[in-house]
């Protein structure tokens, strides 16, 4: 099924309009709040989306106390009986400020370096970002240099909303029953912590991937590790053989980990230890890591190494205390998706129908779909289109916003045909 040009044009303009509006709303999550949602600003954004969904004619639209947005669109007459969920997340990464985003449109990209008005030293060079080559002639969107852009995952929200708007505008577009869900706190690993499965369909798709045409049905196995070092502070003039400097020992712990197993030295199917936080003084110090690999057994080996380093330092410094807490975050979604291959196959066909190359990738990260797949809702991840997520260099091509919208419509058509 080829989409009519007026539908394609509508999807492009609608996704762009919504995206430019959404990125200017601050929704960064807060990993230290201990609340659900972790930031009040996500709840405020959710309420605005509720109003937009009502305007589009969806039913049973609600925002719950945890900032999850739910909505239902009844199936077209005679469409297939499998209810399908589309999901994206409200929050942006706390790694870089998402407040006061100023989106810039760079029309007819010429293939050269991207520079930023609010930070003249910031540059995205095609030599370092080869993904730019596929977007020569496209309109690119970046932030101004002070903030991230927020394509992760406001692009996903804009694309889903544009797809829903197209279904309303062009009633000839067939679709099954749709269950829409926008989640909070995905960036801090809590996107499904309070989700209500009864509000979702029987299969799902997250729009939370990167490059145009990407389909991801495999992701990291993931856990987090927190270490608390408790030492003994003594006046430095009298500290010989008495002081146990917690901060210094925590630094030694980090230096003992293999440097080659860190994000800046790994790619493809290589796992890593990633130090995300380090703080403290002579008395107490804290480290936080995320630990990643594609196989549970290999991640287990990494946890064993953390335990052995802890034990080594405890033996080396009598009187030192180290508390190690390891928490599972999610598992490789491929384990679950392999039991429902038709869900991934539908996504492959939809990308093909959109006329773009398929990039079948393993996610060097995770999505809500990973946890949902193990909760009984098979949910592969589709491209949202952004590149260099979580950084001031983040960018997206307008063609990717359009093509993701097309994939949404094609998926609706394919599932509507299922009887």
The CA distance from 200 to 180, in Å, is 7
Residue that has been written with the tokens 């999901």 in this structure: 87
Catalytic residue, candidates 30, 153, 185, 186: 186
The CA distance from 357 to 131, in Å, is 13
**Minimal CA–CA distance to 278: which of 305, 246, 321, 306?**
246
DSSP H helices, 141-245, are 151-169
**Minimal CA–CA distance to 372: which of 176, 208, 214, 163?**
208
Q: Are 411 and 84 in contact (CB under 8 A)?
A: yes
Annotation says 91 is catalytic: yes
Angle of CA points 325, 242, 288, to nearest 5°: 20
DSSP 325-383: EEEEEE--THHHHTT-HHHHHHHHHHHHHTT---EEEEESS--HHHHHHHTT----EEE
Helix (H, G, I), strand (E, B) or coil at 3: coil
Q: Are 154 and 11 in contact (CB under 8 A)?
A: no
The CA distance from 14 to 268, in Å, is 35
Q: Are 381 and 218 in contact (CB under 8 A)?
A: no
Annotation says 186 is catalytic: yes
The CA distance from 390 to 276, in Å, is 13
Catalytic residue, candidates 31, 91, 216, 217: 91
**Could you list the active site residues?**
91, 186
């Amino acid at each position: 099924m080829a989409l009519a040009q007026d539908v394609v044009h509508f999807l492009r303009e609608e996704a762009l309009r919504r995206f430019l509006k959404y990125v200017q709303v601050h929704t960064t999550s807060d990993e230290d709040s201990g609340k659900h949602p972790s930031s009040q600003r996500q709840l405020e954004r959710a309420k605005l989306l509720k109003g937009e969904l009502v305007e589009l004619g969806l039913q049973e639209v609600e925002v719950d106390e945890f900032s999850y947005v739910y909505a239902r669109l009844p199936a077209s007459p005679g469409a297939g009986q499998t209810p399908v969920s589309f999901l994206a997340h409200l929050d942006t990464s706390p790694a870089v400020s998402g407040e006061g985003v100023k989106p810039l449109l760079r029309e007819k990209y010429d293939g050269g370096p991207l520079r930023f008005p609010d930070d003249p030293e910031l540059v995205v060079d095609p030599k370092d970002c080869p993904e730019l080559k596929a977007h020569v002639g496209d309109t690119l969107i970046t932030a101004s240099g002070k903030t991230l852009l927020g394509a992760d995952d406001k692009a996903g929200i804009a694309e889903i909303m544009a797809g829903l708007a197209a279904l309303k505008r062009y009633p000839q577009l067939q679709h099954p029953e749709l269950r829409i869900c926008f989640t909070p706190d995905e960036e801090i690993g809590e996107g499904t912590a309070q989700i209500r499965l009864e509000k979702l369909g029987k299969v799902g798709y997250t729009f939370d991937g990167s490059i145009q045409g990407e389909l991801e049905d495999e992701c990291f196995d993931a856990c987090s590790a927190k270490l608390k070092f408790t030492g003994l502070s003594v006046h430095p003039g009298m500290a010989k053989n008495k002081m146990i400097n917690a901060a210094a020992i925590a630094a030694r712990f980090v230096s003992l980990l293999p440097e080659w197993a860190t994000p800046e030295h790994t790619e493809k199917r290589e796992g890593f230890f990633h130090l995300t936080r380090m703080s403290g003084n002579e008395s107490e110090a804290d480290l936080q890591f995320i630990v990643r690999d594609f196989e549970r057994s290999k991640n287990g080996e990494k946890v064993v190494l953390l335990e052995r380093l802890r034990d080594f330092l405890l033996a080396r410094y009598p009187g030192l205390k180290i508390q190690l807490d390891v928490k599972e975050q999610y598992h490789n979604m491929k384990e679950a998706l392999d039991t429902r291959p038709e869900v991934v196959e539908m996504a492959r066909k939809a990308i093909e129908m959109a006329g773009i190359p398929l990039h079948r990738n393993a996610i060097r990260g995770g999505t809500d779909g990973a946890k949902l797949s193990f909760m009984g809702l098979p949910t592969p991840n589709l491209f949202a289109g952004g590149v260099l997520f979580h950084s001031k260099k983040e960018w997206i091509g307008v063609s990717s916003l359009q093509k993701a919208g097309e994939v949404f419509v094609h998926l609706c058509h394919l599932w509507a045909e299922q009887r």
